[in-house]
Structure 1
Amino acid sequence: METCNPVISEIKLRSPTVLMLCNDRKIDRRILLQADSLEEDGWQVTILAMPEDYDSDAEDRRVLRIGIHTESHARRENRVLEAYSVMRRYLPMNGRLMRFIKSLAWRFLVDHERFYLNLFLADGLQHKANVIVAHDLPMLAVARKLAEASDAHLVYDSHELYCEQEFSRGQRSSWAQLERRHIHACERVITVNPSIARELQMRYELAEVAVIYNAERITEQGERSWYLHDHFGISRDQRVLLFQGGFSAGRNLLELVEAMALLQKSNVHLVLLGEGQLSGTLHRLIKRKGMISRVHIHPAVAQSCLLSVTASADAGIIPYQAICLNNYYCTPNKLFEFIAAGLPVLASDLPELRRLVDGNQIGCVGDLGTPKAMATMIEAFFNDDQRLQRWREQLVEVRTELSWQREGERLKQIYRAFK
């Protein structure tokens, strides 16, 4: 019979604990990497998240889903939530009808703060922790309640300028009021880049907002991979330009496909790696433009093997447009994934993308707003082989400076104040 080691048990009891709250179903890489780093520093970490749409055998051991062990009385009473849970059984979460229903509900029916309190509070109260972390704005009110209930430290990790997304004016105002109401209760506020940090400091008169980049953990680079060339039957003397991530509106993906049809230089192939609401539209557009031989769609891959696929491209592209203030200040995960994989980057000329790409001399930024402008930029990007090589050489150093190994150490220093 297995016996308990009292020394190990005592150590576990005395380990400081962190409860991270996440309103997503798919746990963001940023959250999992933070959990890794804190565990390296002696913390016990639990991540409380929304329920998945399907059971996953690969679920991270630290992740718990709301509603599995407890059933909130408030959740049972909330008719909007009850209707929502019924619809989830029969409609695809990312289907067009479900997205439309959710947008109407958020705009006219749902009190944002009460919605998430009803969903998360009862489950969260089952976990005592030394530090409660709100990962993004929807979790802030819940995290504050839990921190007050257990006399815990409160941390707010703002993954983006949440209230400045492409919402209606009323929604933006509602989210901003929620943020203003709770942000001063936080002992530390963290965000993803200096521009958003300055914006939060200015809006809420905060003394300091710490920056932890959405960096990726790097490993030693081996020989050049030709996976994408071989997978799509692309000759190895051809260039592969890679977009990876969700196929969502506002990312200029349809325009990117149109740009490929305008290219004079025919040795550039575009690979779209991912999935999302625009998948069907992209397939149809590629076929209609006669671009099947030069524009390729690869299904999404697990995060654990993403970088090995990324590294087989020749360059990465980020064609985001400033459709809202949140996009204007963006530093998406894919930027740091391209850097970790050693890929030169072609990006839209937005403040943080300019600072990190152009400022580190690892690619170039410019006008990617229209198909014609994109085609011009892509041609110029690949026309200078010596410049491409200089960018690759510069990436050898930059990928270390902008790695999770560095960012994780900064995160540990922040949390050591709570031990």
Structure 2
Amino acid sequence: MPYIQRELLEKIMPAVVRLRADPVFFAEKVSGFRLNQAQRRLLLLSGRIRVRLAGRRFGKTALSALDLLHYALTHPGTRSLVVGPSLDQARVYFDYFRDWAESCPLVEYMIAEDRRSPFHEISFRNGSLITSRSVARGGRFVRGRGYHRITVTEASFVPDEVYYAALRPAVLQNPRAIIDFEGTPWSKSSYLYELFTRGTADGEYYSATRATTYEAPHISKEEIERVRSEVPDYYFQCEFLAEFPDSEDAVFPQSLVLSAVQDYSPAGQPFPGHLYTMGVDLAKIRDCTAIIILDVSEKPWKIAEFHRFRLRAYAEISDLIKALKARYRAKVLIDATGVGEAVAEAVPGAVHAVITKERKEEMVARLRLALETGSLLLPASELTLLEELKHFRRVGERMEGQAGFHDDCVMALALAVWGAGKGGGWSAWRAGIPAP
């Protein structure tokens, strides 16, 4: 422990006392940012069950991390948990802690040990601990342990059963324990909506607040309005206004998507003896190109490799597809509707999938069936794909990502799943005949 002169100690003690008593003062000193009124409101939320919902770019994760760090430093001997859909998402908190340790001597001094394996975990000099887990396997890695505080990041991607069966029981033995949720809304048919509703009505044991992207610092209202003119209303309502959408026209309900999510990352390489299918959805105007390779050796199928990009020449894209096809020896299905035909022609042996309205209905139905039957597992680490599934809607008689929102990942996955079906329908695709 470094020696501190009495004069220096007397000089800094008032600041130390204030850091302990004032979470806003602590947050601003540690982060180096001045909090606005809305950010202070989120930070100072009280109660045993707390729900913080905020729009994009508001800083909700950083605020929750500051709140958790302040709790650990001011409550000696406590055990706290950061939990998310994947360990990668929980790790974001620890990235913040490490950044603040580099910029704030007090935080650096208070950290006694920083472990990164098998889980990210930080021990403090006052005996407190912050550790991390994912909600994989129904919250298996959370069960059987007691905590003084649990922070749930990306809370809308945590299944209801994990909250009821794993997270809620984990704080029962501590009468002052806290569960803190942060994220953006998804569906009213969820535990998060129930807790948010209780929090807005109660305000004591349950507490809840939300903030919009309009309240985020350093983002112009003009820029937000431009985005609003480009995206669907339900998407803006969810992601920017932090409101639970009124419509329940999602093709892939929240409970269905979350039941298929598992904490894994695509392997990024082929394995001997495994079978693979590849779905390719080509960019159209402002869209992105998505390539998904599916390991279909056995059920449940898993995503082996995932690419998403924009503004690449078609020759470059076809070269990438050919390289991946050769590497995985995969069956390749390419959306040959419109601009995709030229790319499909450049890839020998690829299936030219001209997707009509009826065929799209069939493809999406087969993808949904794969999720419903547990035949397909989705990686928790690929939030872009999960977000697209979340916002894939039925628009009139059509199913699609509405204007302003991409559906390239969904369609690439649907193509790969179609290819994994019995017989694959490959010859039928090429001939333009409905698949069996």
Fold-level similarity (TM above 0.5): no
Answer 1 or 2: which has greater helix percent: 1
Larger C-alpha radius of gyration, 1 or 2?
2
**TM-score with structure 2 length normalisation?**
0.27
**TM-score with structure 1 length normalisation?**
0.28
Answer 1 or 2: which has greater strand percent: 2
